[in-house]
Amino acid sequence: MTAGELPNSFLKRQMGIQPGRRGQNLWAAIFFVFDQIDLALGIWVFIFWLIKPPLILMLWSLGLAFVLHLVVSTVGYVFGMRKTLF
């Protein structure tokens, strides 16, 4: 687990959501997105002060992280390396 994943996991535990689960309704959608991009968010928090990137670069990287995470998870599921799809 990386430092970028800790806030997401902490919020889930405070809401009584078990590890590997996302909750229900709106929370399920919110946690689904954050589960995909939490690593990238954590990295941006640490390097933001060093490079001061433009907002558009940060948003593109979060979108790319989201898409790539879904692709890698899907490939892993198809080849039997993951038990769940997402």
**Whole-number pLDDT of residue 62:** 96
- Has residue 17 been placed in a domain? yes
What pLDDT, on the 0 to 100 scale, is given for residue 1? 53
Mean pLDDT by 10 residues, the chain (86 residues): 77 84 83 89 88 94 96 95 86
Indicate whether 52 belongs to any domain: yes
Q: How many domains does the chain have?
A: 1
Note whether residue 84 is domain-resident. Answer: no
Residue 67 sits in which domain range? 3-78
The whole-angstrom separation of Cα 76 and Cα 79 is 5
Alpha helix segments (H runs only) across the chain = 6-14, 26-51, 55-78
- The structure tokens 């490939």 sit at 75
Determine if the pTM surpasses 0.85. Answer: no
Return the DSSP state at 81. S
Check the CA dihedral 80-84-85-86 and report its sign.
negative
